[in-house]
Structure 1
Amino acid sequence: MRTILAGAVGALIIAAPARAEAVPTLLRDWTALNSLCRGGSGDDPRTQAACDRRDALDRRLVAAGWCYGRPGDIGAQRTWQPCGGAAGQPAQAGTGTPQGAARRALLDAARGPAEAGRGQPVQFVVHALNRDGPWAFLFARMQRPDGRPLGRGADDLGSNDYAALLRQDGGGWRVVDFTVGPTDVAWENWDRRYGAPASVFAVR
């Protein structure tokens, strides 16, 4: 059983390149890897390898204009489909970039965890600020309001980057999850964990 699992993961790791026309191949490989990830033993490194590879395919599908479910879908309803509509139609981005007061409200809501414990205000240099329905995602570099780098303490991670997932409710925007100082794609499983649309995490 372990030999079969390892062989399956190895075969899928050399799957087709990330091209828009290769989406059927990506979907096939994602489905197989998702089964290995969800069905394997939790303490088997080959299970983690399948999960990691599946997550990498997530990002390739999002880059190709595909979304995993729609806002409001429960887990059993979520499937891969073009962001713009029914299968077979041109994919369109499901996200927008907030401007003006909407942008300020999102950045102000996201700032709390970034400033916590620092004793100084934080300004964001925004790399991505995406909104899809009640969900929003921020990826930014943190700096002082005068443009100087933040002083980093011994407990900080390896960068001045910051990412936050937010959700809008009756009281405004609230931070659902965040990461301070990431050195990798720390938010790669937030769509499945919280039910947010995968397209909102696009960082270009």
Structure 2
Amino acid sequence: MRSTSAAFALLLVAGSAFGQPMPTVRDLLAAETKATQGCEGSGDPAAIREQCVLRDRLSGRLAQAGYCWGRKGQTDAKKAWHPCGPDSIYIDDVEAVRR
């Protein structure tokens, strides 16, 4: 019981990020959109690279939240983030690392 309580308390502290609420999916989507725009922009290569890295991290967090980018058969222009479903494009990152 003691270890369960300690583990739960640790999850609460880690999940709250020093008292701040965890970002919502809406927050993540907005941040990913902004980072994508910065990544596709022009100007300082270091700033662009930073935005691309941020975009990739946010994409990973969206995937962890159960969101997918695009559906099977869609053109790139029509792809958007959505809750994953049977027709979603899903890349198994763990399996990709094993190859």
TM-score greater than 0.5 by the shorter chain: yes
SS at match of 2:94: coil
Pick the aligned partner of 1:35 from 22, 34, 37: 37
The aligned residue for residue 12 of structure 1 is none
List runs of 5+ in structure 1 lacking aligned partners: 1-16, 85-93, 96-131, 133-196
Whether 1:22 aligns to 2:24 is yes
Kindly provide the amino acid, as one letter, of the partner of residue 44 in structure 1.
P
How far is the alpha carbon of 1:36 from its aligned partner? 0.7
Alignment RMSD (CA, Å): 2.5
- Which one has a larger percent strand, Structure 1 or Structure 2? 1
The whole-number CA distance in structure 2 between the counterparts of 1:67 and 1:27 is 11
List runs of 5+ in structure 2 lacking aligned partners: 1-19
SS at match of 1:34: helix
The aligned residue for residue 82 of structure 2 is 81
The whole-number CA distance in structure 2 between the counterparts of 1:35 and 1:56 is 15
Larger Rg over CA atoms: 1
Aligned positions, number: 75
Whether 1:201 aligns to 2:89 is no
- Which one has a larger percent helix, Structure 1 or Structure 2? 2
* Structure 1 residue ranges (4+ consecutive) displaced by more than 6 angstroms after TM superposition: none
How far is the alpha carbon of 1:202 from its aligned partner? 4.1
TM-score (ref. length: structure 1): 0.33
TM-score (ref. length: structure 2): 0.65
How far is the alpha carbon of 1:57 from its aligned partner? 0.6
The aligned residue for residue 47 of structure 1 is 48
- How high is the sequence identity, in percent, across the aligned residues? 33
How far is the alpha carbon of 1:39 from its aligned partner? 1.4
